[in-house]
Amino acid sequence: MKLKTSLYSRRKFLNGLLAGGLGSLVASLLYPLLRSVIPPYKEPDEVRLPGADFNGLEPGDVRPFAWDIKPGFIKKNSDGTFTAFVGVCTHLDCNVSYVPAEKKFFCACHDGWYDADGRNIAGPPPTPLRRLTVVAEGAELVIRKETPA
């Protein structure tokens, strides 16, 4: 079946393509600007963990936990206290992992290394891992953001 008149003229079709292309260009330029102005993630002020999960740790042992959507690590010190770190590399925000055989934290993105105390020792990370404060409250461990001195 052939229509006597077209539903779209060539001009309307080309104008539609041009408008769609310009709209896509504007959206692709505005999106990164809006993402930088309105960050989608707000870090928690504290996380509560059951203390029983960490009582069995030997001094020097490290265990992961969830710092909201980011990884975190909790280490038992020789004096029985705990130290916690945010498991995000200080170079480009890649997730780090703990290598128990070497007792070090490793960032696979750019081969960055941190020692067991979170200090940067090799690769591009400019600063140590961010520390968190650990407080025992009853049967729970409360992990909070460390306030700057």
Hey, CA dihedral for 85, 119, 42, 40, is it positive or negative? negative
pLDDT of residue 109: 86
Which are the contacts of 124, defined by CB distance < 8 A and separation ≥ 6?
91, 110, 111, 112
Tell me the C-alpha to C-alpha distance, in Å, between residue 107 and each of 6, 70, 82, 100: 60, 14, 22, 14
pLDDT of residue 138: 83
pLDDT of residue 23: 94
Which are the contacts of 97, defined by CB distance < 8 A and separation ≥ 6?
87, 105, 106, 108
pLDDT < 70: residue spans in the chain: 1, 3, 40-41, 147-149
**Alpha-helical runs (H) found in the chain:** 10-37
Model confidence pLDDT, tens digit, residues 5-33: 777 788 888 999 999 999 999 999 998 88
Q: What is the pTM of this model?
A: 0.67
Fold entry, domain 46-145: Rieske Iron-sulfur Protein (2.102.10)
